[in-house]
Amino acid sequence: MEADYVIVGAGSAGCALAYRLAEAGKDVLVVEHGGSDIGPFIQMPAALSYPMNMKRYDWGYISEPEPHLSDRKLACPRGKVIGGSSSINGMVFVRGHARDFDYWQESGATGWSYADVLPYFKRMEHWHDGGHGGDTEWRGNNGPLHVTRGPRKNPLFAAFVEAGKQAGYPTTDDYNGEQQEGFGPMEQTVFGGRRWSAANAYLRPALKHKNCNLTRAFVERVVIENGRAIGVEVIRNGTKEVISARKEVILSASSINTPKLLLLSGIGPAEHLAEHGIEVVADRAGVGQNLQDHLELYLQFASLKPITLYKYWNLVSKAIIGARWLLSKTGLGASNQFESAAFIRSRAGIEYPDIQYHFLPIAVRYDGKVAAEGHGFQAHMGPMRSKSRGWVKLASSDPADAPKIQFNYMSDPQDWADFRTGIRLTREIFAQEAFGPYVKHEIQPGLSHQTDEELDTFIREEAESAYHPCGTARMGAANDPLAVVDPECRVIGVQGLRVADSSIFPRVTNGNLNGPSIMVGEKAADHILGAGMLAKDTSKPWINPNWENDQR
């Protein structure tokens, strides 16, 4: 088997890349270890807690014991299925803040400022405002990725935004437009009542081109000869074989599997490779380093009124919702239920939001366990730019072994201050008049947790990953010893090899990472095609004029 371009991983970036290269007439082969994404558990938006807890669809990675979180081992789900993590995620669509990308540019990722990436965000999306208002001129209207908003019928969605307003925060009609900061509607990659994953948006249309193919195989390493990637060694149908790349190999295997594959291929810190008897092809100290994520807490409140989704938390209701969805792709099954959101600044002197909220009209965990109290609602709250950094390393030289993952969550003292502030700001929001008719009492953390020490105990025991790992093959200047890829996504020190996924992020972006990961695939395609980049868009985003002196 061979192709001009071999893409490893049919995830968010890999699917976008395949689509753009195939559209340009290139001969493309996508290699994916996971199987089909067909079926209600993946395609039905409201069923989102199922696929990420199913071995069939998830690599099932677990962190090493996290020293600052009571040595808990935290789940790190990554999609092992067509569509990758876009087939098992929460379907929340956030571009990231303009300043995130300006930071990328400043840290050596030349050509990745907001002005550079905004045209790719526009090109990739087909935005449906649903009559809710928003920034039409900032959005794309004919891309493959459909972005919609939930119906927001439950009064709690409006109460959350109104409470934010009453607490003195701005509102925003479109956090993916000119103004991210504030309270407003949340956006989702759902279309026609179905999960609009990268597989539905990009891969299926790409495979309609004769020059684009998909094969199911487990990639063990990149084959490199005389400093050039010439293909990948895979296990396919139980047999080891090499799939050849006439032009380039592109790793789009996730921020966990991409560094693992680089290391197995001899690209990484020489010392670590020597530990596992792997011959050094390129000594790159940054491979597997710089691991970042968002950590969050679920702040839960009991409801005075029986209007939450808890009334559907029984087999009969679930069956009715499922049946309606199967028949018409409508009803509660057609939304991820994250329909109101907020981005705020934790204190004066922070230029742009550093706390994100997802609001949900039920008190439930990501693994599907509801609060014992019955009717309730919750806000997922988490700081955006932790300085804590972790790593991904090999457990052994055997490609079948899962890598070792250490996030090193909460290792920076500022993380604790930010989380405590976040909890107190959240309590203030839920104490506003807008929630008067709905808040019965606080379930979690509970009013017994007031002092810094009490809140720290709660954080230590209850903080969960928001499942946004990135940064493990950082993009930077070619002469930066810790950069793994240059600003054209080329692996430094090896020819014919690129990385295009969230592992190249120099720093984690605000919000959920599916949007920026797809953007990376879109932009990497233009670097590969070499026909020039989209023209910069110098639209100026809104920054709170009083950010230096005011928190809101």
pLDDT in tens, 289-309: 999 999 999 999 999 999 999
Asked if residue 89 belongs to a known ligand binding site, the reply is yes
Helix (H, G, I), strand (E, B) or coil at 211: coil
pLDDT of residue 216: 98
Residue identified by tokens 């061979």 is 2
The mean pLDDT value of the chain amounts to 97
Residue 341: strand pairing partners: 184, 358
Is 367 or 52 the better-scoring residue by pLDDT?
52
Is 219 annotated in some ligand binding site?
Answer: yes
Name the amino acid, one letter, at 345: R
In the block, which residue shows the tokens 């759902």?
A: 190
Residue 198 has pLDDT above 70, yes or no: yes
Q: 105 is written with which tokens?
A: 């540019």
2-529 adopts what CATH topology? FAD/NAD(P)-binding domain (3.50.50)
Q: Whole-prediction pTM value?
A: 0.98
CA nearest 506: which of 250, 286, 344, 177? Answer: 286
Span 343-351, average pLDDT: 98
* pLDDT > 80? residue 128: yes
Edge-to-edge order in the sheet of strand 187-188: 125-127, 145-149, 187-188
Q: What was the pLDDT predicted at 133?
A: 67
Residue 129 reports pLDDT greater than 90: no
Whole-number Å distance between alpha carbons of 145 and 105:
25
- Is the confidence at residue 188, as pLDDT, over 90? yes
Q: At what angle do helices 514-529 and 12-23 cross, to 10 degrees?
A: 30
Predicted confidence band of residue 132 (pLDDT cuts 50, 70, 90):
low
Residue 119 pLDDT > 80, yes or no?
Answer: yes
DSSP state of 394: -
Give me the residues paired with residue 392 across strands.
Answer: 405
Q: What is the per-residue pLDDT for 372?
A: 80
| DSSP string for residues in 241-274 | EEEEEEEEEEE-SHHHHHHHHHHHTTEE-HHHHH
Note the pLDDT of residue 371: 82
**Is residue 68 annotated as part of the catalytic site, yes or no?**
no
Helix H, strand E, coil C: the string for 107-162 is CCCCCCCHHHHHHHHHHHEEECCCCCCCCHHHCCECCCEEEEECCCCCHHHHHHHH
The response to whether 124 counts as a known ligand-binding position is: no
Q: How confident is the model at residue 218 (pLDDT cuts 50, 70, 90)?
A: very high
- Whether the pLDDT of residue 130 is over 90: the answer is no
Burial class (CB in 10 A: 0-12, 13-18, 19+), 110: middle
Catalytic residue selected from 97, 146, 209, 468: 468
- Three-class secondary structure of residue 93 per DSSP: coil
pLDDT band at 273 (very low <50, low <70, confident <90, very high): very high
Asked if pLDDT for residue 193 goes beyond 90, the answer is yes
- Bridge partners (DSSP) listed for residue 364: 370
Report whether 92 belongs to an annotated binding site. Answer: yes
Cα 220 to chain centroid distance, Å, stands at: 25
Joined together, the tokens standing for residue 159 give 């109460």
* pLDDT, average across residues 390-396: 98
Domain boundaries, the chain: 2-529
Report, as an integer, the average pLDDT of 250-275. 98
Do the bridges between strand 404-406 and strand 391-393 make them parallel or antiparallel, or are there none, so unpaired?
antiparallel
C-alpha–C-alpha distance, residues 55 and 366, integer Å: 16
pLDDT at 136: 86
Average pLDDT of the residues in 253-264: 98
